[in-house]
Amino acid sequence: MKKCGKIGIVGLGLIGGSIAIALSGSYEIVGMSRNPDTVRYALENGIIDRAVSSYSEFIGLDAVIVCTPLSLVKKTVEDLYAALGDSVIITDVGSVKGMLSGLPGRIVGGHPMAGTEQSGIRAAKERLLENAYYILVDYKDNPRDLDFMKNLVLACGAVPIIMTADEHDKLVAKISHLEHMAAYSLINSAMTGDEEIVGSGFMDTTRIASSSPEFWATVAKLNKDNLLAEMDKYIETLNLLKEDIEKDADIIPTLTKAKQRRDALGYKRRYMTSYVVYVDVPDCVGSIVGVLAKLSDNGVSINNLTVMNSREGVGGALRIELKDERGYKKAKEIFG
């Protein structure tokens, strides 16, 4: 099969490895990583076509994707430019985009909005990016390079969305970075570490506090101004609620407004990468199978299934991740 182009990938971890696997049928993939075992694994498993050990060996490719840890992305992009100049597109997958503004070279920023809590090449998956939004930043206003990147994103099974670095960084400060800081702070404010009993709400609200502290410290540093603005807004909102509670004021309208906005999120989903419904199930034989059978009878495919809060005699909840919006709407229709 004729290949669509030649791609270099620096940093064969979760994201770099997953992009390599997703593109391997349609592009020639040249890989580079720090650890020789990782490179060996990638070659042995057909994740990359060949490996290189210096940036200058990427000459002749169409694009190089920087998939190193976030703290190294800017330096890696600068070093690649020093070795390759304008001969290739240099793109990245870093979670903050302002850091590449103003750098020389044919840079197109990228941020696939997909991931797991795992890391490294062994966690890489062909379908990690499937249906995920993949933000592209056209720093150089270069339609040809942007088109090349759009096609590459589509070949990964992802959905390209174009925005400026500033729009991206403001958006992620609001929908992701603030929430991680809030989850870390919630744990530190509410827990001593000796608790034996915690509510499921606490577990839901703080799940992301198990994310990598090193990664999130880097994010906070690189997106500092936008994050601080969102933190100020959040502190102000929390203070207003606190004042109302102190004054015994009616807080139902405030909570109702939040509930309505949260309930509507499933349908909007512009920057979410999953369609999730929760279904309560009784603690009896066959209840989970019954839920799955209803979905299957209605032609609904699922991506993932988690059993939550399952305790003997009490029943539990199923967290079901649907494959697409149609499945999500159908599941909501069936289970309410």
Binding site for ligand NAP (CB under 6 A): 10-16, 33-35, 38, 67-70, 72-73, 93-95, 111-112, 115, 119-121
Q: Are strands 6-10 and 28-32 parallel, antiparallel or unpaired?
A: parallel
Residue 93 or 291 having the CB closest to ligand NAP: 93
Q: Are strands 315-322 and 302-311 parallel, antiparallel or unpaired?
A: antiparallel
Q: How far is CA 153 from CA 130, 147, 179, in A?
A: 10, 10, 27
Phi, psi for residue 229 in degrees, rounded to 5:
-60, -45
Q: How far is CA 186 from CA 181, 226, 237, 251, 258, in A?
A: 9, 20, 15, 21, 19
Minimum distance of ligand NAP from residue 254's CB (angstroms) = 33
Minimum distance of ligand NAP from residue 101's CB (angstroms) = 16
Minimum distance of ligand NAP from residue 118's CB (angstroms) = 7
Q: In what order do the strands lie in the sheet with 106-112?
A: 50-51, 28-32, 6-10, 63-66, 89-92, 106-112, 133-137, 159-162
Measure the CA–CA gap between 111 and 153, rounded to whole angstroms: 10
Minimum distance of ligand NAP from residue 229's CB (angstroms) = 21
Minimum distance of ligand NAP from residue 145's CB (angstroms) = 20
Minimum distance of ligand NAP from residue 162's CB (angstroms) = 17
Residue 105 or 327 having the CB closest to ligand NAP: 105
Measure the CA–CA gap between 189 and 86, rounded to whole angstroms: 50
CA-atom Rg of the chain in angstroms: 22
Residue 16 or 98 having the CB closest to ligand NAP: 16
Residue 50 or 233 having the CB closest to ligand NAP: 50
Scanning 109-177, the segments in alpha helix (DSSP H) are 143-155, 165-172
Minimum distance of ligand NAP from residue 237's CB (angstroms) = 27
Phi, psi for residue 10 in degrees, rounded to 5:
-105, 120
Q: What is the largest CA-CA distance in the chain?
A: 71
What DSSP line would sit under 202-225, residue for residue?
HHHHHGGGGS-HHHHHHHHHHTHH
Residue 244 or 321 having the CB closest to ligand NAP: 321
Residue 5 or 120 having the CB closest to ligand NAP: 120
Residue 125 or 332 having the CB closest to ligand NAP: 125
